[in-house]
Amino acid sequence: MVRTIGIFDSGVGGISVLQHIREALPEANLIYVADSGHVPYGGRSAAFIEARSMALTRFLLKHGAEAIVIACNTATAAAALPLRKQFSKIPFIGMEPAIKPAVAATQSNVVGVLATVGTLESARFAALLDKYGGKVKIVTQGCPGLVELVERGDLHSVEARRLVERYTTPLLEAGADTFILGCTHYPFLAPLIREVAGEAITLIDTGAAVARELKRRVDTELPPRVRLGVVGNETFHTSGDAERATSIVSQLWGQDVEVKPLPQSYC
């Protein structure tokens, strides 16, 4: 049998993580769920996000997922612990803002964090600041509207540039030379962020590290299932408009895909 990995996010942003997972596990079948019917999670209550995460996990497990990536910083903060408690035999790999590598990368000793309000207000983020902030100044910036841009596939418009300028200007004025992309949607805006903030800025994205951790846990915690020569496939589901999602996911994934509607019982 071929390995099956489940991935979910509040919307299509987790496609940025999926790309790294495909590189790390070329033989695995990947099932991706975009909860675009409820995006963004940033302004939602922890109880709501936990309930959605439980529903999406049940869907992925029903379809054979042996490990699950919570490809959303906000969902990780709100739901990782209850998910691990409820499904104790399943490896869960979550996301978190990459404070440690950003602190190591900065030359100005000022790090900017671009994230959703939910991530910035979470206890998990506060703990990361306490653990890794040290003598480096951490400047945070909530970014309402950026998730919605990516959900629309709007990566280069005047509106996109205006929002990116609004959110990066305070970080640059504070002296930040390193930005943490604290939401899985934001890597798709990285080219625009570089245009606005300058090519010298260092952008930290945790997708590759999550893929490495997933591979490590799959290799050490799950029984081997790989057949030599097998190439995995990807399937996509959404709780939002499937036709619209097909267009956006194809754009972000870089090839034509079909996004299927999530069954109503999981919406």
Going by C-beta distance under 8 Å and a sequence separation of 6 or more, which residues neighbour residue 16?
184, 185, 187, 188, 205, 207, 252
**Which residue matches tokens 């934001």?**
186
> Between the CA of residue 146 and those of 17, 117, 178, what are the distances in Å?
17, 12, 19
Cβ 34 vs Cβ 16: under 8 Å: no
CA dihedral over 239, 245, 246, 252, signed as positive or negative: negative
Kindly name the residue from 72, 150, 180, 209 that is annotated as catalytic: 72
**Which residue matches tokens 């992309």?**
181
Q: Strand, helix or coil at 191? A: helix
In the residue annotation, 183 being an active-site residue is answered as yes
* Distance between CA atoms of residues 4 and 20, nearest Å: 15
Q: Strand, helix or coil at 133? A: coil
Kindly name the residue from 79, 103, 164, 183 that is annotated as catalytic: 183
Dihedrals phi, psi of 113, to nearest 5 degrees:
-120, 120
In the residue annotation, 267 being an active-site residue is answered as no
Beta bridge partners of 237: 33, 260
Q: Strand, helix or coil at 151? A: helix
What is the length of the chain? Answer: 267
Q: Up-side HSE of residue 204: CA atoms within 13 Å toward CB?
A: 24
Q: What is the set of active-site residues?
A: 72, 183
